[in-house]
Chain A
Amino acid sequence: MSGFNAISSEPDVQRDDYTPEIEPQATWCPGCGDFAVLKALKGALAELGKDPEEILLVTGIGCSSKTNSYFDSYGFHSIHGRPLPIARAAKMANPGLEVIAAGGDGDGYGIGGNHFTHSARENHDMTYIVFNNEVFGLTKGQSSPTSPKGHKSKTQKKGVAKDPVRPLSLGLSAGASYIARTAAVNPRQAQEILVEAIEHDGFAHVDFLTQCPTWNKDARQYVPYIDVQDSDDYDFDISDREEAFRMMYETENSLYDGKVLTGRYYKEEDRRTYQEEKRMRGEMPEEPLVERYFDDDYEWERSYDLLDRHA
């Protein structure tokens, strides 16, 4: 039995290397913002020179989670709201993998809200991209956790009575160590942010504003954005938690007024990842769990030695 080899990065990777040469079973409508996320993701990974076979893309359910069908890598298209526990455990089993989790706003901030909160606080070394189009698309237009108050659909016929969740503030209070928001209308910034997020050691949360041309024509995601890092009006220190909170608060208020602010909001440089914390405590081995199964010389300990205390 030959060994399991971690793959070394090959710098000459092209964007198209992540494109499957087969027609995916298409669920994305013409004009869907998800195409922009896909393009930015491929661009970022090509820029970083990641081999498609060292990437594990774990998704939930919904239009956004169909990204796996349009993307050629190892993929796990799972169930609604659950990509994060799957992704973080895969990373723990094999830290050599580049683990990226993706899903929609319903997937991540609704049904998977608990997993989002805990994955962020644990600071797993992974990237989490939330395709935020403020609507449930695949089930035909119901309000999502980020839909503006008053959004009407067949299940909220008088307009949704709830305030939207605040994904950035939620991510920050939960403990994500990198938080950014970008938009489909802004491909250059989107790719830059994804590069940073993937390179970041820790839980990187990217709220990616996308448009749903079929079910959410009114969303503000189409309007020109303001890059908070490019503008002198929004000078703040992204390593300062309090300043980041204040900017997020402004951003999350202004979005529904039609002023779309995007950029990096928070970056914590010196925080240990969850794996580092566990290793420090001796709760996690240095080498990937997976390697041993292919290592003929690895000595598997037996429960027999444990029995002495039962005798």
Chain B
Amino acid sequence: MTTDELIWRVAGGSGDGVDSTSQNFTKALMRSGLHVFTHRHYPSRIRGGHTYVEIRASDEPVKSRGNGFNFLLALGDSFARNEDETAVYGDEEIKPLSENLDELHDGGIIVYDTGQIDAADIPDFEERADEHDWQVYPIDLRSIAQEHGREIMRNTAGVGVTAALIDMELDPIEELMREAMGEEMLEANLSVLQDAYDHVTAEFDTDTGLSVPEGEHDEEQVLLSGSHGISYAAIDEGCRFISGYPMTPWTDVFTILSQELEEMGGVAEQVEDEIAAAAAAVGASHAGAKAMSGSSGGGFALMSEPLGLAEMTETPLVLVEAMRAGPSTGMPTKTEQADLEHVLYSSQGDHSRVAFAPSDPLECYTQTRKAFEIAWEYQLPAIVIYDQKLQGEYRNVPKSFFDQQPNPDLGATLTEAELEDAPHDHTGRFQRFQTDVDVSPRSLPGQKNGRYLATGNEHWPNGQIAEDPTNRVEQVHRRLGKLDSIREDLNAMDESYQSYWGADDAEIGVIAWGSHQDTAEEAVEELAADGKPVKGLGVSEIMPFPKSEVTEFIESVDEVLIVEMNASAQFRGLVQKELGTYGEKLSSLLKYNGEPFRSSEIVEAVDLELNGGGEPTAQVTLQPAAGD
């Protein structure tokens, strides 16, 4: 078997170190010159329970987890071994092997730990292995680990075996271990690694036909997740106050910034609930610090009060919404794109808020920076929507990309000198909410000549509560009008956040938003390479809605398939609401089982559309256009 890419899946029990092992291995692959992409699957459990991480490595850039995999390392679930508690653990002992066979390519490699897994417990295992021509390597990884170190190091043994079977040098792996481990741990791990490598080379035929592709990067790469992209953007924008409450998958950003902000001279606050989290960010921002908060769906629900308050008081604010499968608690560790309407429409009244939905870790960075800039320039909340998929998705990105200047500018905020010349009412109060301009620059508490009242009630220009009809209309127009100005600003920028794929003259259009853009792009490229008349649009700016770009795209094709991870076609609904037409042209490809789309599912759906309909095979729904 030869292939130009490795898709390595390591499976085990939650808490067995699958995550850290895979991250190190990913980094080793990246350092050897490859492009990498990780996909993480985990249960909502602390220890035990079936978990896996998939690493796709290729000499070409990779944008998704790919379709299936060609190497399985099944480690065994160490928390499933207590025989007294079989009622709790059931057959989880063998799950790392039994649960991971469905998408293994024909001819693929299986390494499993005979120290923990008995393949005979899986009745059809041998039959399936024969049928699919799998190359099976039963190895006692547990013993190798115990012999040279501790049982937990069977991960390392697994990596050693992997290296031998894919003809990979141990050097980059050893180098990473040296960087990460203390003396004693290092020695033990190095011997486990080497012994596992030697064992498999001596005892087995290692000519598997699968080898790591050879690649080379033009410049130094770093391995980053979407959460890192968001967090580092906040740091570079001068965000020095973060408040939050733990909730998966938002906790990722909250943790990264809690660890980093201290070093940067900032403040991280874990507070009593999400209402307090968003309210605290409003308070810190009002007092003059660049502030951020965020949550996942259920926590964001609590934030709708302070969110509306920020809009009414025109307080700059960045919120992050890390989506997971809902409603309510839903599936905490599974991905979905079903909070779009929640983010756009939560809280009462007419909304002046901005929303970005980045596609990958680099866009997480650029769009979070943009979110801060717009929030402070226009004095409104900007929300970055991403999801569990993008949160845990690690990719290699060029290090030099981040060599950008920090921008701690407070936007439309006056200095004391400027406040002297600013408009004041006859009592000396600063006219903060002037109605004759889009954005009325603010003062900060403590500044001379700047006092005013910020209130969640409708207000006069000096902030005093007002129910005067004329003033009300003027203030509403001014607040909502900011969105038009922001749209103009975004349109005038050199770089667009929308992405286009495929040939201009294609007849079928695919639209994806947020974290699924790259998967859709891979599908469109595959279809186009196959001669299919398909092109694609990826939307990363959600609000203010990119009307002209979406309209142009829809008008340029005969029909459009909108791909998103929810059951109610929320983005399609937004397109129809914003454009008020094209209902008959838009059909939907929907998936809501918790697992992200594979590009093959999009390819299949487009094929079905081209052939005049039918039902897709996987757990996806093809919803026809309203006019059909």
Q: Which residues of B contact A310 (CB under 8 A)?
A: 222-224, 228
Given A2-B416, A89-B287: A293 touches B238 (CB 8 Å cut-off) = yes
List 9 contacting pairs A-B, 8 Å CB cutoff, sorted by A: A69-B465, A72-B427, A75-B452, A75-B454, A76-B286, A79-B456, A90-B286, A282-B262, A301-B265
Interface string of B212-225 (1 = CB under 8 A from A): 00000000111110
From B283, B309, B462, A89 is in contact (CB under 8 Å) with B283
Measured between alpha carbons, how far is A84 from B272 in the docked complex, in Å? 12
Shortest A21–chain B CB gap in Å is 4
Q: Which residues of A contact B243 (CB under 8 A)?
A: 85, 89
Q: Which of the segments B143-151, B163-171, B199-207, B443-451 contacts the partner chain?
A: B443-451
Q: Verify if A153 is at the interface (C-beta below 8 Å from B).
A: no
A5–B416 CB distance below 8 A: yes
B291–A89 CB distance below 8 A: yes
B454–A77 CB distance below 8 A: yes
B402–A304 CB distance below 8 A: yes
Q: Verify if B115 is at the interface (C-beta below 8 Å from A).
A: no
From A1, A77, A86, B453 is in contact (CB under 8 Å) with A77
A4–B222 CB distance below 8 A: no
Nearest to B399 among chain A residues (CB) is: A307
Cross-chain pair count, CB within 8 angstroms: 241
B276–A85 CB distance below 8 A: yes
A300–B238 CB distance below 8 A: yes
Nearest to B30 among chain A residues (CB) is: A311
Task: Please give the number of chain A residues whose Cβ is less than 8 angstroms from any Cβ of chain B in the complex.
Answer: 66
Tell me the chain A residues, 4-59 only, with Cβ under 8 Å from chain B.
4-7, 20-22, 24-25, 52-54, 56, 58
A90–B455 CB distance below 8 A: no
Nearest to A1 among chain B residues (CB) is: B415
Tell me the chain B residues, 21-50 only, with Cβ under 8 Å from chain A.
none
B287–A56 CB distance below 8 A: yes
From B262, B451, B467, A53 is in contact (CB under 8 Å) with B451
Given A88-B280, A289-B241, A303-B232: A76 touches B446 (CB 8 Å cut-off) = no
Measured between alpha carbons, how far is A292 from B264 in the docked complex, in Å? 12
Interface string of A208-247 (1 = CB under 8 A from B): 0000000000000000000000000000000000000000
Leading 8 A-B pairs by shortest Cβ distance: A303-B232, A89-B283, A86-B283, A290-B288, A89-B280, A77-B455, A90-B287, A74-B445
A25–B280 CB distance below 8 A: no
Given contacts A85-B275, A85-B277, 16 further A-B contacts (CB under 8 A): A4-B446, A53-B448, A56-B287, A74-B445, A74-B451, A76-B455, A77-B454, A82-B279, A97-B287, A290-B288, A293-B289, A293-B413, A302-B402, A304-B403, A311-B221, A311-B399
Measured between alpha carbons, how far is A91 from B286 in the docked complex, in Å? 10
From A22, A118, A293, A303, B235 is in contact (CB under 8 Å) with A303
Q: Verify if A170 is at the interface (C-beta below 8 Å from B).
A: no
Q: Verify if A92 is at the interface (C-beta below 8 Å from B).
A: yes
Interface string of A81-111 (1 = CB under 8 A from B): 0101111111111101100000000000000
Q: Verify if B267 is at the interface (C-beta below 8 Å from A).
A: yes
Interface string of B281-322 (1 = CB under 8 A from A): 111111111110000000000000110110001000000000
Measured between alpha carbons, how far is A279 from B273 in the docked complex, in Å? 23
A86–B264 CB distance below 8 A: no
Shortest A25–chain B CB gap in Å is 5
Interface string of A284-310 (1 = CB under 8 A from B): 110001101110000011111011001
Tell me the chain A residues, 101-130 only, with Cβ under 8 Å from chain B.
114-115, 117-118
Shortest A118–chain B CB gap in Å is 4
Measured between alpha carbons, how far is A76 from B232 in the docked complex, in Å? 31
Q: Verify if B160 is at the interface (C-beta below 8 Å from A).
A: no
Q: Which residues of A contact B276 (CB under 8 A)?
A: 82, 84-85, 114-115, 118
A7–B446 CB distance below 8 A: yes
A302–B241 CB distance below 8 A: no
Shortest A89–chain B CB gap in Å is 3
Q: Which residues of A contact B90 (CB under 8 A)?
A: none
Q: Verify if A68 is at the interface (C-beta below 8 Å from B).
A: yes
From A58, A114, A282, B272 is in contact (CB under 8 Å) with A114
Q: Verify if A188 is at the interface (C-beta below 8 Å from B).
A: no
Nearest to B243 among chain A residues (CB) is: A89
Shortest B227–chain A CB gap in Å is 12
Q: Which residues of B contact A92 (CB under 8 A)?
A: 241, 267, 269, 284
Q: Which residues of A contact B445 (CB under 8 A)?
A: 53, 56, 74, 90, 94, 97
Measured between alpha carbons, how far is A306 from B257 in the docked complex, in Å? 12
A76–B313 CB distance below 8 A: yes
Measured between alpha carbons, how far is A91 from B289 in the docked complex, in Å? 11
B427–A290 CB distance below 8 A: no
Q: Which residues of A contact B260 (CB under 8 A)?
A: 303, 306
Nearest to A25 among chain B residues (CB) is: B465
Q: Verify if B181 is at the interface (C-beta below 8 Å from A).
A: no
A302–B283 CB distance below 8 A: no
A293–B284 CB distance below 8 A: no
Shortest B162–chain A CB gap in Å is 22
Q: Which residues of A contact B222 (CB under 8 A)?
A: 307, 310-311
A290–B228 CB distance below 8 A: no
Q: Verify if A278 is at the interface (C-beta below 8 Å from B).
A: yes
Q: Verify if B406 is at the interface (C-beta below 8 Å from A).
A: yes
Q: Verify if B408 is at the interface (C-beta below 8 Å from A).
A: yes
Given A89-B281, A118-B272, A303-B402: A24 touches B446 (CB 8 Å cut-off) = no
B266–A289 CB distance below 8 A: yes
From B233, B283, B426, A88 is in contact (CB under 8 Å) with B283
Nearest to B256 among chain A residues (CB) is: A306
Given A25-B464, A302-B235: A68 touches B455 (CB 8 Å cut-off) = yes
Shortest B33–chain A CB gap in Å is 13
Measured between alpha carbons, how far is A78 from B266 in the docked complex, in Å? 25
Interface string of B402-418 (1 = CB under 8 A from A): 11111011100101110
Task: Pick the most buried of A24, A93, A94, A282: most chain B CB atoms within 10 A of its CB.
Answer: A93
B453–A78 CB distance below 8 A: no
Q: Verify if B437 is at the interface (C-beta below 8 Å from A).
A: no
Nearest to A115 among chain B residues (CB) is: B276
Q: Verify if B457 is at the interface (C-beta below 8 Å from A).
A: yes
Measured between alpha carbons, how far is A251 from B106 in the docked complex, in Å? 80
Q: Which residues of B contact A300 (CB under 8 A)?
A: 238, 406, 408
A292–B408 CB distance below 8 A: yes
Measured between alpha carbons, how far is A185 from B449 in the docked complex, in Å? 35
Q: Which residues of A contact B309 (CB under 8 A)?
A: 78-79, 82
Q: Which residues of B contact A270 (CB under 8 A)?
A: none
